[in-house]
Amino acid sequence: MTDGAQIEIDGSFGEGGGQIVRSSISLSLVTGKSFRVYNIRANRPKPGLRPQHLSAVQAALKISGSKAQGAEIGSRELWFDPGPVRPGNFRIDIGTAGSTGLVFQTLLPALLGLDQTSSLEIRGGTHNPKSPCFDYLQETFLPVLSGMGVMVEKQLQRHGFYPRGGGEVKFIIQPWKDRSKVLEMAGPVEWQGPSVEIILAGLEQHIAERERDELVMRLMISPEQIKINFLASDQGPGNVVLLRFFSGRRTEMFANFGERGKRAETVAHELAREAKNFARSRAQLDSHLADQILIYLALSGGGRFTTNYLSSHFHTNLEIIKRFIDLEAEIKAPAPDLSLVQINPKRVS
């Protein structure tokens, strides 16, 4: 049911990508506010909705009584009128190697607001560049949310790499009953590790060995801290390197993906650089998690956290959330490589 006037959103502002559409859908389903987003991905090589963005729209329609106009490939405008979200056991086949993680994150806030348990079985890409892989959701994203009272069971049934896809994941989502908890993750962290896992499917073994050797040199760790996991060739071709830091029960994960034309050494070098910069900052959350957690702070008691880098995704997502939910955000820089973010919701719509 539409609540008030339609929200108008310029899809080219800030980061200017598909996240604007996905975040708007999440917030529309939660608040009951309709929106129109125009200039969708206007500055990208292929502007408009692409299959991976359209899959999020279609998934939102599947779990609710919502209506949408402009939900087609290449569309540069989308009108979304939210309807009641219903519990159920939903199967979503993206149909491509589009990210299962991004579809899950689009639907999660709405399904948490129900009074019954729901399940999502999603088929598509489980390990994609520029999106949260299943391991990250399982070990980093969802454990932080569990500290806020969010309970989600998760299962990886089959890996799916870009561009082939074919992966399968399952999530069981419990109602979010207690939203009073305030997130407090502002203190410095002495991260331990790292440990590294290299996953290879349907590709030659020397790729993993070269990534291992580069990481040993860049991180100054022993080869024993690096595990190579070979998957069945029918789950590939695919290659991902997962680097984990630990602190108590917390795990921070960084991932980088092998791609056609990209040297194995480059994959490992990029990953090592990002991970070392994070650990050196002693921040609580990596830049991706800082972006992804914002909506849950807006829908709960708020809180504060530190991160080593505020990305364009973060700033864009924060502005989108403010269009739907009344909140105050304060950002400080206690150190050159450290930001302190505080979110104080004024009211939950």
**Is the alpha carbon torsion for 141, 315, 81, 77 positive or negative?**
negative
Assess whether 288 carries a catalytic annotation: no
Nearest to 262 by CA among 231, 288, 241, 236: 241
| Sequence-separated (6 or more) residues with CB below 8 Å from residue 10 | 37, 38, 39
Q: Vertex 287, ends 94 and 333: CA angle to 5°?
A: 155
User: What is the Cα Rg of the chain in Å?
Assistant: 20
> What's the Cα-to-Cα distance from 328 to each of 49, 180, 218, 338, rounded to whole Å?
31, 17, 41, 20
**Candidate list 127, 288, 313, 315, residue with the active-site label:** 313
Alpha-carbon distance of 228 to 170, in angstroms, equals 25
**CB 241: neighbour CB atoms within 10 A?**
27
> What's the Cα-to-Cα distance from 151 to each of 94, 104, 288, rounded to whole Å?
24, 14, 20
Alpha-carbon distance of 58 to 244, in angstroms, equals 34
Which of the 8 DSSP states describes residue 232? P
Helices (H), 138-223: 142-146, 205-219
Residue 200: exposure state from Cβ atoms within 10 A (0-12, 13-18, ≥19): buried
Alpha-carbon distance of 184 to 35, in angstroms, equals 32
**Is the alpha carbon torsion for 347, 143, 14, 54 positive or negative?**
negative
Helices (H), the chain: 19-31, 51-62, 100-112, 134-136, 142-146, 205-219, 264-281, 287-292, 294-298, 312-324
Name the β-bridge partners of 251: 246
Q: Which residues are catalytic?
A: 313
